[in-house]
Amino acid sequence: MARIVVAGTENASVMDPTTVAVVDASDPANPSVQMLAPHIGQTGARVDVDGGLLAVGAELPGVTGAAVALFDVTKPSAPTSKGNVTTPLTGGIGALAVHGKLVAVGELSSPSGGRVALIDASGATPSVVSEATTPLIGVTIQKDDMLMGLGAVTSVAFLSDTLVIAAGPTSGQIILIDFSNRASPVVTPINTTFASIGSADADSNAQRIVAGDGFGSQFGLFDSGASVLSTQTATLLAGITSVSVSMPLAIAGSTNTEDVALIDFSAPNVTQFFAGLTGGGATAKIKGKFIALGSLAGPFGPSLGRLQFFDAASTAMPLGHADVNLASISTVGIAETVDVTASSSLLDFGSVVVLATAARSVTFKNTGSIARRLTAAAIIGRTGSGTFVIAAPSAFTTITLAANGGSATINVTFTGGATTGASSATLSLTTDDPAATNIRVSLTGRVRRDFSGYILRLWKLLFPSHRFPLLPG
């Protein structure tokens, strides 16, 4: 598993081209840093990453709208450009989120309602495929090298493949945007008890939203309909400006203190600890139990910002840190790339007659830089009369996949049962890849009658010792 941390700064500059940091934090005690110039002008940037897709959004707009630069960072030591997309967001970009091959982009400045644009990067030419207008308003102005004022959309996150949330400091509402119909997305404002939402995030796997009070110390946990499930308080934070959620955990930071709050909603409880950053607040991000905290102020050298890494299970000491060439770190993303992958997510055995057998195979490959293991395999969730069996290896033992391309093949058979119709099951593999601890392959097949020999085959199955008479002719 490669763990990638990306960082950018909101502070617009009229002097220097935009740069962002790409950090390989697979070994957080010995991270490696690449500084990347996304060619989106001289502006601050918003960043996020998912899988191997990095998106960098320009805080200041160009002539026709703010640009988003896309990169493949599957190999964080050598990012490759996937091109730039010009959005219609003439008010600049105040928030950005990546989900698979989709990018949601929120408009920073808009006195009439900040927009959210949806980019589809699945094809050879990424493009804006939808746009929705929210009731979030905000106006910013540039003074010297700083943006002043309150933004419209300063938080966006994916709640699912089609649902996006948006929020901003001028409102206490969470805006739910349904992009199921890209030609006509549905915008639903939902009230919270907060007067201002300083930051919001969502966990698409758990369908949960976390929002922080921009004027206070409270966190709210919401379901997909924005109903309040839990409210917790971080006493050391006064004005929450950064939240991130990876259920059941969430992390929050503020511009006003170097302390951060770790919330476990399963308990629930709040743990507050010192971020170890000098001279200002912290930008917080969490993925699983891995935490990355970025320094908002107080550089550790000339134009040098710091990322501190922690394990949520033990926050007393950091796992390590990375110094990056950014005076402040106000936007952070974390991604974990999967090492072990299956050659197919579905094995279709087609149609077999009663008692007949078909065979299929699936190959598991390790693309990571260290060896991985397949530690267990099982057929689960069978429906129908057909029988699925792991044929090879017949007695499963731990299989080691060598680094940089090692692979292993598992053969599965499907045998038709006595009842016709569809059958299904799942091949479940356990691995030691932290980003893919369980890999599942769907199995499907169908049993049909063999009218030329169905009765005879069934009789032999039920009465194997019976002797059949020879028939004439």
Per-residue pLDDT of the chain (473 residues; tens, 9 = 90+): 779 999 998 764 555 568 899 999 988 999 999 999 888 877 788 999 998 899 999 888 876 789 999 999 988 889 999 999 999 999 999 999 999 999 999 999 888 899 999 999 998 999 999 999 999 998 665 544 555 456 799 999 999 999 999 999 999 999 999 999 999 999 999 999 999 999 999 999 899 999 999 999 998 999 887 788 999 999 989 899 999 999 999 999 998 888 999 999 998 999 999 998 866 789 999 999 999 999 887 555 556 789 999 999 999 999 999 999 887 898 999 998 888 999 999 999 999 988 899 999 999 999 887 889 999 999 999 999 899 999 998 778 899 999 889 999 999 999 998 888 999 999 999 998 877 788 999 999 999 876 555 555 565 666 666 555 444 43
Pairing verdict, β 20-24 and 32-36: antiparallel
Residues 439/342, Cβ–Cβ less than 8 Å: yes
**Assigned CATH class of 2-337:** mainly beta
Count of CB atoms situated within 10 Å of the CB of 355: 17
Q: Tell me: the pLDDT tens digits for 368-406?
A: 878 899 999 999 999 998 999 999 987 788 999 998 899
The CATH number fitting domain 340-457, selected from 1.10.3720.10, 2.60.40.10, 3.30.930.10, 3.20.20.70: 2.60.40.10
The answer to whether 216 touches 195, Cβ cutoff 8 Å, is no
Domain ranges of the chain: 2-337, 340-457
Hey, what are 228's tokens? 């309040």
